[in-house]
């Protein structure tokens, strides 16, 4: 008896998942272990793998199976999986394999060169490779936009955040723009009355790593299904059964690497708890990048920067690095909750962080829609940094427009996920606190099981079964509401 269309589809997507696993681990290797001389061959192998996956997904019979499966007797979960299969197919079939290969090669080349160009502040060298990435990304965006009847930028945004549009983002970010500058100023005035003592290093990398591993264990990271390494830019990669996270260490700064580890552990816990019964199927994937970022920011900002969490971590810090004036309780809490606008997004406090995201969103949208060119970016970046944070990046490309890795491989449309994620995280934490009345007490005691069980029930176990809106409504009783983010910032910092 011949397999049904549904059976053919699940077998095909399982096969694609195996190749995605290999691609993810090869990507991790490229960022962490690959010797410089391996870049060209590594890039060619990854490009070949991306073309292979593309050809499997866009084969004519896949479209036929999708249509036939619609008529088969499927349950509700299978229908959700079929919806996600069709979404992946429709996205892929718009692109020729030659473009998929060219974009992969250009991205690998740009990222590899960026590693040495950023420390050297070499914008001209970076721009040369980056122009290829932008050209190919615009080509992709134009094909997607023509098929979907959207702007070029919205066509790429939809890859990361299904059903989100720049029109809706503009409304959300416009609201934030109205109150955030005033909040920043009020917090700065309030905190200016405090004289804080800075932690005095050096803080050995070995001890920092040991502390990071301890915190990962406290936060429930499964070391049988993942590991911690070092890379130029922290990330979480791999697959649910094998999650790879990275950080970067600085012996003069104790908390940057630690908070980076906690951020990536939030991503990892989500990945490790996605539905295993349908592993390898699209419905078992994370719902969206904003939901993914909501989990990392839930861990890093909502949880780890809270006074109860910081308090229960303090003895572990003193045990490794010794007692010093900076680790006096009130100074230590205030140091980790200080608002100090700076150059680097991933080190930003949560009040100034949205400014970094809106800046990048404005620039990448203009870039993809053809309103500006690559050579315009440094001046625009400087202008927007001065507008938002009062900081100039003129001539400082390393700490300005070259600081992030996302654009090197053409991940345009990703950046809004960070502030959307912060909004979702605040709303989710408020819902958890309402439903778990002893939450602050539990956190102070290092008891996280009730909180993680709540996340498991409401977010992690569902994968992509529901739309983003439905997922949030089911967890919180209402769709995304940015007032919870504002309320959280005002409560913590004012």
Residues belonging to the active site: 264
Query: Cα(388)–Cα(354) distance, rounded to whole angstroms?
Result: 10
H helices present in 192-306, as ranges: 205-218, 254-272, 289-297
The residues, any chain, with a CB within 8 Å of residue 51's CB and separated by 6 or more, are 97, 100, 101, 104
Number of residues that make up the chain? 494
Query: Cα(392)–Cα(228) distance, rounded to whole angstroms?
Result: 34
- Angle CA(408)–CA(411)–CA(413) in degrees, nearest 5? 140
CA 317 to chain centre: 27
From 292, 248, 230, select the one nearest 28 (Cα to Cα): 230
Dump the DSSP string for 274-306. S-STTTTSGGGS-S-HHHHHHHHHIIIIIITTS
- Angle CA(257)–CA(304)–CA(221) in degrees, nearest 5? 75
Query: Cα(485)–Cα(481) distance, rounded to whole angstroms?
Result: 8
From 48, 58, 39, select the one nearest 19 (Cα to Cα): 48
- Angle CA(134)–CA(137)–CA(139) in degrees, nearest 5? 110
Dump the DSSP string for 339-366. ----S-GGG--TTTHHHHHHHHHHHHHH
First to last CA, the chain: 68
Neighbour-count burial of 333, counting CB atoms closer than 10 A to its CB (0-12 exposed, 13-18 middle, 19+ buried) = middle
Identify whether the C-beta of residue 476 lies closer than 8 Å to the C-beta of residue 427.
yes
Dump the DSSP string for 106-145. HHHHHHHHHHHHTTTT-HHHHHHHHHHHHHHHHHHHHHHH
Strand order of the β-sheet with 226-230 is 226-230, 242-247, 236-239
Distances (CA, A) of 161 to 157, 164, 222, 238: 6, 6, 27, 20
Identify whether the C-beta of residue 321 lies closer than 8 Å to the C-beta of residue 207.
yes
Instruction: Tell me which residue has tokens 């708890």.
Output: 273
Rounded to the nearest 10°, the torsion over CA 424, 427, 429, 434 is -160
């Amino acid at each position: 008896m011949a397999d049904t269309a549904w059976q053919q589809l699940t077998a095909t997507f399982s096969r694609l998942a195996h190749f995605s696993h290999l691609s993810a681990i090869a990507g991790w290797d490229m960022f962490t272990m690959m010797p410089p001389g391996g870049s060209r061959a590594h890039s060619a192998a990854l490009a070949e793998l991306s073309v292979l996956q593309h050809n499997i997904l866009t084969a004519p019979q896949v479209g036929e199976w999708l249509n036939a499966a619609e008529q088969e007797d499927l349950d509700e979960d299978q229908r959700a999986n079929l919806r996600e299969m069709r979404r992946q197919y429709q996205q892929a079939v718009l692109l020729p394999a030659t473009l998929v290969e060219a974009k992969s090669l250009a991205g690998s080349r740009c990222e590899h060169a960026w590693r040495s160009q950023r420390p050297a502040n070499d914008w001209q060298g970076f721009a040369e490779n980056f122009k290829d990435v932008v050209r190919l990304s615009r080509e992709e965006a134009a094909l997607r936009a023509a098929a979907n009847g959207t702007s070029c930028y919205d066509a790429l945004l939809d890859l990361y955040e299904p059903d989100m549009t720049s029109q809706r983002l503009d409304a959300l970010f416009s609201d934030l723009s109205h109150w955030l500058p005033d909040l920043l100023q009020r917090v700065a005035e309030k905190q200016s009355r405090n004289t804080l003592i800075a932690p005095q290093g050096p803080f050995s990398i070995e001890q920092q790593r040991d502390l990071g591993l301890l915190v990962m264990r406290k936060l429930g990271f499964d070391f049988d299904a993942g590991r911690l390494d070092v890379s130029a830019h922290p990330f979480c990669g791999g697959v649910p059964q094998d999650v790879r996270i990275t950080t970067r260490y600085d012996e003069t700064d104790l908390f940057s690497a630690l908070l980076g580890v906690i951020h990536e552990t939030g991503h990892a816990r989500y990945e490790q708890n996605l539905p295993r019964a349908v592993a390898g199927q699209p419905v078992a994937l994370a719902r969206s990048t904003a939901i993914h970022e909501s989990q990392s920011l839930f861990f890093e900002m909502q949880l780890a920067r809270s006074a109860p969490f910081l308090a229960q971590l303090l003895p572990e810090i003193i045990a490794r690095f010794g007692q010093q004036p900076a680790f006096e309780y009130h100074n230590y809490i205030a140091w980790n909750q200080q608002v100090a606008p700076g150059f680097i997004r991933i080190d930003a406090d949560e009040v100034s962080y949205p400014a970094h995201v809106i800046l990048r969103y404005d620039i990448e949208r203009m870039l993809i829609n053809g309103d500006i060119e690559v050579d315009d970016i440094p001046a625009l970046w400087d202008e927007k940094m001065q507008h938002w944070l009062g900081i100039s990046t003129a001539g400082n490309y390393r700490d300005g427009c070259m600081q992030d890795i996302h654009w090197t491989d053409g991940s345009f449309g990703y950046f809004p996920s960070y502030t959307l994620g912060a909004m979702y995280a605040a709303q989710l934490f408020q819902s958890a606190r309402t439903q778990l009345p002893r939450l602050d007490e539990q956190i102070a005691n290092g008891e996280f099981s009730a909180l993680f069980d709540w996340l498991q029930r409401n977010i992690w176990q569902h994968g992509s079964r529901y739309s983003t809106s439905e997922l949030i409504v089911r967890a919180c009783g209402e769709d995304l509401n940015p007032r919870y983010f504002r309320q959280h910032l005002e409560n913590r910092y004012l």
